[in-house]
Amino acid sequence: QKRLWEKKKFIIETNYCITLDKIIDSSRHSVLDTESTLKVILENKEQLAEWKELFDINVQSVDDLKEEKYLVLDTKFFDMKFKYKLLSEFDNLDEDIDGMLINSENFGALTLLQDRYKEQIQTIYIDPPYNTGSDGFLYNDTYQHSSWLSFMFDRLAYAKELLSDKGVVFSSIDDNELKNFQDLYRLTNFNFIATLPTIMNLKGNNDEYAFAGTHEYSLAAAKEKSENIFNHFSVSDDEIQEWKEDEYGFYKKGANLKSTGGNAPREKRPNLFYPIFVNSENEVYVTDNNEPLNDTDTKLLPITNEQDMSWRWQKSKVNAETFNIILVGDGNELSIYKKQRPQLGDIPSKKPKSIFYKPEYSSGNGTAEQKAIFGDKIFANPKPLALIKDFIQIGSNKNSIILDYFAGSGTTGHSVINLNREDNGKRKYILVEMGEYFDSVTKPRIQKVIYSDSWKDGKPTTKNGVSQIFKYFNLESYEDTLNNLEFTKTEEQQKTLDMYPEAKEDYILNYSLDVESQSSLLNIDTFSTPFDYKLKIATSSVGETKDTNIDLVETFNYLLGLVVKNITYRDDDITVLRDK
């Protein structure tokens, strides 16, 4: 059973999502005719229906297709010939692909990726089950600590092999497994860098504990320990320099001490109309009789456009908090402001801080972002985009590959796309998710954020799309592996199995594997027609199976670690050319 679990799994079906701009651009075409291709697309009712559902767009003509160049075509709606004709237009397919989504248990996906992506991943982010029993994960979320460690150990060990020498990994976790996770990095020979308390809810949650929880943790580790592994944030010098320091700490110019708004006029707040004086040493004071201590001191009144207004502070506060006042200008142009003292996370820094906080990190933002894209909350506890974007920014460069093998709703892929939008980067993403929501949440989210960068109530508010192509596929499951075992049995064994059919499964699993399975457990005769290769694939949770085409060519590309340069289509003949 262990051998069957560890067996690298077959790719069941490979499809591609491609923005129409890559099809409309006829300058790259050698096989496809743009006009006839667009007509084929227009006649595909399933594709048009998906565009209506995802993007709220009704396509009725070829001109509509040309106008909507960031609509995302899905090759699953088209036959194999159309798909490969389309793919043949890419001179370097693997290089042109911006991302990959894998619907699979993540252990199987990580083992399949070993040869193709060995030491090529720059940044990994994962948000694994916290082992609380309440995360909503499909993975068991009520492990014994030792079982949780075993579950995570194998996956982290395989993920490490995919990291480049300067690769880094970030992971979210809470108190339940924090200590174990820290130890886990050391057990897998990572260089553990930091435990970063990450503020997700300043008000605190309302769970059963004595203290209202405000934070989770983000663990940072590196494959190899060396200098300059992590980048600094892209904060402008102006943002940093607007903060100054006095004997009481950091400050910057805050609100004008003069009131504004409907209650600002003097007649509304008469007690707050009084003079504030500034002496030659730029010291601020007020007096009971509203007279200066020296005739040469500057007198400031809350007057705006020749109208008497009011101050925000009472006299007593002005005298008590002169250290919180800043003067701007001089002479008749002198203005008085509050010093804004920093709250948590206020002061920008190019170097990441040991406590991770921005208002945008609020867990509520992740839910709000999801509601904007889908019109409803359809996934529990999604991470906010800002947090993952910051991890990617400090952990990668503009040409990196980013991996998330607990992809959930697809926040990591969304973050990569948005970050590339902002800085013209060429980062690629690999997302692995096993849940059924892969087809209803993870993949649609990526399609949606390709088409538009702004959503409300599940509908796009802009058409600011990006040119993109991503590949997605399903992997054979462990149960599928069992369903496709083939054995050569002796005549006596077959008689026994016929007499006791109820013992068949136990017999095969417990006895046959070590004896009858010395040769291949697969029917390799059918490998001679690779595009027609089929396996029995489960179609439901009750054991029903269906003979399904397996992408044998794509499977062996990964097993051998090959890079696909080009797929050539000519006269109904498909040839896959690979990088040596």
Kindly report, residue by residue over 10-23, the tens digit of the pLDDT. 999 899 999 999 99
Is 74 or 213 the better-scoring residue by pLDDT?
A: 74
Which structure tokens are listed for 519?
Answer: 């040769």
Split at pLDDT 50, 70, 90, the class of 580 is very low
Cβ neighbours of residue 304 closer than 8 Å, sequence gap 6 or more: 258, 260, 264
Query: Residue type at 358?
Result: K
Residue-wise pLDDT for 164-197, tens only, equals: 999 999 999 998 889 999 999 999 999 999 999 9
Give yes or no for residue 343 having a pLDDT over 90: no
Q: Which two tokens stand for residue 378?
A: 């359809």
> What angle separates helix 442-451 from helix 363-374, to the nearest 10 degrees?
80
CA-to-CA distance for 538 and 522, rounded, in angstroms?
Answer: 17
pLDDT of residue 52: 97
Neighbour-count burial for 301-315, b at 16+ CB within 10 Å, e otherwise: ebeeeeeebbbbbeb
DSSP string, 435-459: SGGGTTTHHHHHHHHHH-S-EETTE
Q: Is the pLDDT of residue 576 over 80?
A: no
Give which of 143, 138, 46, 168 is closest to 409, Cα–Cα: 138
Q: What are the tens digits of pLDDT across the range 432-477? A: 999 889 999 999 999 999 999 999 999 999 999 999 999 999 999 8
Q: CA–CA separation, 317 vs 325, rounded Å?
A: 11
The upper half-sphere exposure of residue 274, i.e. CA atoms within 13 Å in the direction of its Cβ, equals: 20
Phi–psi pair at 424, nearest 5 degrees: 60, 30
pLDDT-based confidence at residue 119 (cuts at 50, 70, 90): very high
Contacts of 199 (CB under 8 A, 6+ apart): 214, 215, 344, 345, 355, 356, 357, 361
The Cα angle at residue 553 between residues 551 and 556, in degrees rounded to 5? 105
Give CA–CA dist 292/503, Å, rounded.
103
Going by pLDDT thresholds of 50, 70 and 90, the confidence category of residue 100 is very high
Query: How far, in Å, CA of 183 to CA of 178, rounded?
Result: 9
- Predicted pLDDT of residue 68: 95
The backbone region for 305, taken as left when phi is positive above 0, alpha when psi lies in -120 to 50, beta otherwise, is left
Q: With contact defined as beta carbons under 8 Å apart, do 524 and 547 qualify?
A: no
CB-side neighbour CA atoms (13 Å) of 146: 0
Percentage of the chain exceeding pLDDT 70? 89
pLDDT of 493: 67
Q: What is the pLDDT of residue 182?
A: 95
Higher pLDDT, 509 or 538: 538
What the block records as the tokens of 25 is 């651009």
pLDDT digits (tens, 9 = 90+) for 236-268: 888 888 899 999 999 999 999 999 999 999 999
CA-to-CA separations, 118 to 61, 305, 339, 475, in angstroms, rounded: 45, 68, 53, 19
* Structure-model confidence comparison of residues 119 and 550, the more confident one: 119
pLDDT tier, 137 (very low <50, low <70, confident <90, very high otherwise):
very low
- Residue-level pLDDT at 502: 66
Nearest to 292 by CA among 317, 308, 275: 275
pLDDT at 508 > cutoff 60: no
pLDDT for 136? 45
Q: Which residues contact 331 (CB under 8 A, 6 or more apart)?
A: 298
Tell me the mean pLDDT in the region 529-550. Answer: 80
Which carries the bigger pLDDT value, residue 122 or residue 80? 122
CB 446 within 8 A of CB 410: yes
Phi, psi of 42 (to 5 degrees): -65, -30
**What's the whole-number mean pLDDT along residues 317-325?**
94
CA distance 293 to 498: 111
Identify which has the larger pLDDT, 39 or 549.
39
Give the residue-averaged pLDDT of 499-515.
60
Q: Which of 471, 558, 556 is nearest to 117 (CA)?
A: 558
Mean pLDDT taken over the chain: 88
Mean of the pLDDT values across residues 268-290?
95
Residue 475 near residue 12, CB atoms below 8 Å: yes
Residue 135 has pLDDT above 70, yes or no: no
pLDDT at residue 505 greater than cutoff 90: no
Query: 449 and 442 in contact (C-beta within 8 Å)?
Result: no
Task: State the Cα–Cα distance between residues 416 and 427, nearest whole angstrom.
Answer: 7
When mean pLDDT is compared across 140-144, 265-269, 290-294, 344-348, the lowest value belongs to 140-144
**Percent of the chain beyond pLDDT 90?**
63
State pLDDT tens for residues 392-438.
999 999 999 999 999 999 999 999 999 999 999 999 999 999 988 99
Least confident of 27-41, 375-389, 493-507: 493-507
